[in-house]
Amino acid sequence: MRAVDIIARKRDGLTLTAEQIDFFVQGFTQDTISDYQVSAWLMAVVLQGMDPQETIDLTMAMVRSGEQLNLEDIASFVVDKHSTGGVGDKTTLVVAPLVASAGVYVGKMSGRGLGFTGGTLDKLESIPGFRADLSIEEFQAQLASIGLVVTGQSGRLVPADGKLYALRDVTATVNSLPLIASSIMSKKIAAGTNGIVLDVKLGHGAFMQTEEEALELASLMVRIGTKVGRKVRALLSDMSQPLGRAVGNALELREALDTLHGHGPADFRQHCLALASQMMMVAGGAESATIAEEELGHLLDNRQALAKFRTWIEAQGGDVAYVDDPSRLPAAKISRELPSPRTGYVAALDAREVGLTSMLLGGGRAKKGDSIDHAVGVVLHAKIGDRVEKDQPLLTLHANDEGKLAGAQQRLLAAYEWSDEPVDPPPLIHRVVT
């Protein structure tokens, strides 16, 4: 078997066998197949696609490239969630302790965020002392001890994914459904969880722009997980505007804590309840999503989810004083309100522009290795459907660099569209895929 023959088969639109795919992935992982050959193969996949079975075979070949966790000795069922990313997406901070407070084990390995804002780990590192780099052994021990752990992705799991993504990033081969789906699902499968809930975003602030694209990706990932014995559900959720009000790492963490304390934004709370209820469903912990949402709402209201969050942060070395008093979190030197330029209803709010503005203020990464300013970002005071009076505060910018503010203000004003007539906000959840 030769790498060049496998490249040629995919170039010509032919189907690859599981053996051919495994040979190729393991060869690349072990450095017996070169970067330039893999780059050619990736482009062939982008142009010719993969059928569902090829995608499943690619996923499992990537799983086999490293260690695989077995969590059966810890709990009979462990659930995980994954979001395809978006602007203001801080759901793990609420959903993970919320589901864990209901008695379901939650084990999650996360990556670092690229683009608009940091990822979940970056937000958590706004808390001094928080350890986001647990070993596999520490991951397992904490899961067994408190039923909840979120840490960085171990390099011992799915090393093929890291190597493949590095090439995809520089060869214009990121945008491929089979490659996206196998990348996400291989990491989730290797981590050993029994149930997986996927939050697939759609809209201007998401990778998938349309509901059709999001549905195709969600359905493919559900199919992969189901085929290898996992219980998987996916939500198609809206990202035509930012989720919640805060965009930026410490700002988003504060909003999540506000929600756990019982007074966060209504849309963010509802999104978290919808996602958490699906996690309860895959874990067999609820008769219906509606009943699950009601029960989970009580756990938010009576602060049991907050108590679990506090236990979690303490277990990973974080200073719980910041949980008890979110005002201690990093704050920017400059806080400036931007007034509304007119009276009317917000008709549209470009999530991508809001996210890019936060990144330009220092809240996100343009490339791996970039540092993040945890304090900066944007807080929205008006979203789609809200009526605003002229000169009423539209949003607040948080910055540490005066020179970046002028451009940020212009971008944010341009992100808003207006209507003289009432406008309905977009749905939070478009559909559930099972």
Please indicate whether residue 271 is annotated as part of the active site: no
Choosing from 168, 188, 201, 398, the catalytic residue is 168
Rounded Cα gap, residues 247 and 408, in angstroms: 13
**Nearest Cα to Cα of residue 208 among 182, 172, 166, 239:** 239
Rounded Cα gap, residues 126 and 109, in angstroms: 18
- At residue 82, φ and ψ (nearest 5 deg) are -140, 135
Strands (E), 116-254: 148-152, 195-202, 231-238, 246-247
Rounded Cα gap, residues 140 and 70, in angstroms: 9
SS3 116: coil
Neighbours of 262 (CB within 10 A): 13
Q: Which helix (H) or strand (E) holds 93?
A: helix 91-101
Rounded Cα gap, residues 85 and 215, in angstroms: 15
Rounded Cα gap, residues 237 and 201, in angstroms: 5
Rounded Cα gap, residues 374 and 381, in angstroms: 20
- At residue 166, φ and ψ (nearest 5 deg) are -60, -40
Please indicate whether residue 123 is annotated as part of the active site: no
Please indicate whether residue 204 is annotated as part of the active site: no
Alpha carbon 206 to its chain centroid, in Å, reads 11
Choosing from 187, 230, 245, 352, the catalytic residue is 187
Contacts of 237 (CB under 8 A, 6+ apart): 199, 200, 201, 202, 243, 271, 274, 275, 428, 429, 430
Please indicate whether residue 183 is annotated as part of the active site: yes
- DSSP letters spanning 130-152: ------HHHHHHHHHHHSEEEEE
Choosing from 82, 233, 352, 398, the catalytic residue is 82
Tokens linked to 27: 């060869």
From the number of C-beta atoms within 10 Å of its C-beta (0-12, 13-18, 19+), residue 319 rates as middle
Cα 309-200-310 angle, rounded to 5 deg: 5
Report how many helices (DSSP H) and strands (DSSP E) the chain contains, helices first: 17, 13
Please indicate whether residue 381 is annotated as part of the active site: no
Choosing from 183, 186, 237, 240, the catalytic residue is 183
Choosing from 22, 161, 199, 373, the catalytic residue is 161
Strands (E), 71-221: 78-83, 105-110, 148-152, 195-202
Return the active site residues. 82, 161, 168, 183, 187
